[in-house]
Amino acid sequence: MHEFKYKGDDLYCEDVPVQKIACDTGTPFYLYSKKTLENHFAAFDTAFSSVKHITCYSVKANSSLAVLKIFASLGAGVDVVSGGEIFRALRAGISPGKIVYSGVGKSSTEIEYALKSEILMFNVESSQELDLIDCVAGKSGKKARIALRINPDIDPKTHPYISTGLNKNKFGVRIEDALNEYKRAVQKKQIDVTGVACHIGSQLTDVTPFVDALRKVKEFTGELSSHGIHLKYMDMGGGLGITYGDEMPPDPSDYAGAIIKELGNHGCTLILEPGRVIAGNAGILVSTVLYKKKSGAKNFIIVDAAMNDLVRPSLYEAYHEIKPVRKKQGPHIAADIVGPICESGDFLARQRDVPDFMPGDCIAVMSAGAYGFTMSSNYNSRPRVPEVLVDGQRYFVIRKRETYDDLISNEIIPEHI
């Protein structure tokens, strides 16, 4: 459950009217509920309390320092996919011993930084990466703890851009090739083989693919044991879906129940990497209607947020519910909600039944707490929007709106031009 609810005609985040923040901060902005972030994390983590586990929140979903600090206070670990995310996680007080590092393209600089930071383990995605980690660890005088990310070839039945566990996807090592890689890994002096990892996709709305993947991973660890390779950690990735529109994903307790049942009395410590399920419905994007225009039979509502602020509708044709920040009486219209960017793909919603919004009305783009701000850009030289966190009756700007000067702060015009 989330904390964005109407009291009377006004949309509230916890105990603060969204309209009040919009008036104080200006729009567009991202708005997060601290209570929702905490509740979602706790619900997920407690669901696994009967087994040895670490909940490693996936930083790329929402990497704001204040958000990470909230999870750090709850004892969370994190899943990172870049050196920059390690930096953020450490700054926010996440314990390095609870950081797992995934991604197909780790550079030697990033590997060195991760080793220096003493992270829990690298989720290795190719044999060349394994060799590079071994080499960098040698130079750094460190031993690298690793898991191999295996690709179980399971169809997660989600959008093709967010499916990751099929042989045609770029992620992980094919399960058929994994045994050989483990045999290579245990020979390496600078490598400490500690785990196995897998992550099959995002926004899954059914437990079956998770259970199927776990079964394959379990069978595989059995095979490893028979070759004398014993693991400490089994990382089952993230991917649990949320309700954007009419999806009915399993709740964390059903998901955990199915996983724990399949796991049986396996001795490994389980690692989970939830992102969207924690942050997605803990945030919204608030925007103001600029203009309304009609083009033949079509209505366009032009708002001040755009695809550079929230790219999911353009990138994945993702659905986000649009709600009025202040409820309006009167008839609804069918309209496309579009932004100011010069691209036809710049829309937040298409053919939606919405109140007959007028210029100046604020709208809430719901379920925008994950893969919202983190995927935003400066396209069309639009300063990135602020992020605001509500805590009970108070709210805090946790990231300032960028200025025009910020836009050009790293640019250099060569002197002779």
Ligand X SMILES: *Cc1c(COP(=O)(O)O)cnc(C)c1O
Which of these segments, 220-228, 244-252, 275-283, 289-297, binds ligand X (CB under 6 A)? 275-283
Phi/psi at 170 (5° precision):
-80, -5
Q: Tell me 249's DSSP state.
A: P
Is the Cβ–Cβ distance between 234 and 217 less than 8 Å? Answer: yes
Interaction of residue 239 with ligand X, rule CB under 6 A? yes
Q: Is the dihedral of CA 365, 284, 36, 325 positive or negative?
A: negative
- Nearest residue (CB) to ligand X, 210 versus 347: 210
Task: Give the Cα separation of 115 and 359 in Å (integer).
Answer: 53
Residue selected from 33, 102, 151, 314 as contacting ligand X according to rule CB under 6 A: 102
Task: Give the Cα separation of 207 and 15 in Å (integer).
Answer: 35
Interaction of residue 274 with ligand X, rule CB under 6 A? yes
- Nearest residue (CB) to ligand X, 238 versus 386: 238
Residue selected from 276, 312, 323, 382 as contacting ligand X according to rule CB under 6 A: 276
Smallest gap, in angstroms, from Cβ of residue 209 to ligand X? Answer: 12
Residue selected from 77, 152, 156, 237 as contacting ligand X according to rule CB under 6 A: 237
Residue 230 has a CB neighbour count (10 Å cut-off) of: 12
Residue ranges of the alpha helices (H) in 341-416? 404-408
Is the Cβ–Cβ distance between 72 and 92 less than 8 Å? Answer: yes
Nearby residues of 154 by Cβ (< 8 Å), 6 or more positions away: 165, 166, 200, 209, 212, 213, 216
Interaction of residue 273 with ligand X, rule CB under 6 A? yes
Interaction of residue 126 with ligand X, rule CB under 6 A? no
Which of these segments, 267-275, 282-290, 342-350, 409-417, binds ligand X (CB under 6 A)? 267-275
Task: Indicate which residue of 13, 198, 342, 362 is catalytic.
Answer: 342
- Nearest residue (CB) to ligand X, 237 versus 339: 237
Residue selected from 2, 34, 60, 216 as contacting ligand X according to rule CB under 6 A: 60
Reply yes or no on whether 342 is catalytic.
Answer: yes
Interaction of residue 320 with ligand X, rule CB under 6 A? no
Residue selected from 28, 172, 249, 275 as contacting ligand X according to rule CB under 6 A: 275
Smallest gap, in angstroms, from Cβ of residue 370 to ligand X? Answer: 6
Q: Tell me 400's DSSP state.
A: P
- Nearest residue (CB) to ligand X, 370 versus 389: 370
The residues pairing with 55 across neighbouring beta strands, listed in sequence order, are 272
Q: If residue 20 lies in a helix (H) or strand (E), which one and from where to where?
A: helix 18-25
Sequence length of the chain is 417
What are the C-alpha distances in Å from 275 to residues 80, 239, 254, 263? Answer: 11, 7, 17, 22
Residue pointed to by tokens 């090739």 = 177
- Nearest residue (CB) to ligand X, 58 versus 126: 58
Residue selected from 145, 199, 352, 399 as contacting ligand X according to rule CB under 6 A: 199
Interaction of residue 40 with ligand X, rule CB under 6 A? no
Interaction of residue 238 with ligand X, rule CB under 6 A? yes
Q: How wide is the angle at C-alpha 65 spanned by C-alphas 52 and 320, nearest 5°?
A: 85
Which residues carry out catalysis? 342
Judged by the rule CB under 6 A, the positions of this chain that interact with ligand X are 58, 60-61, 79, 81, 102, 199, 202, 237-240, 273-277, 370
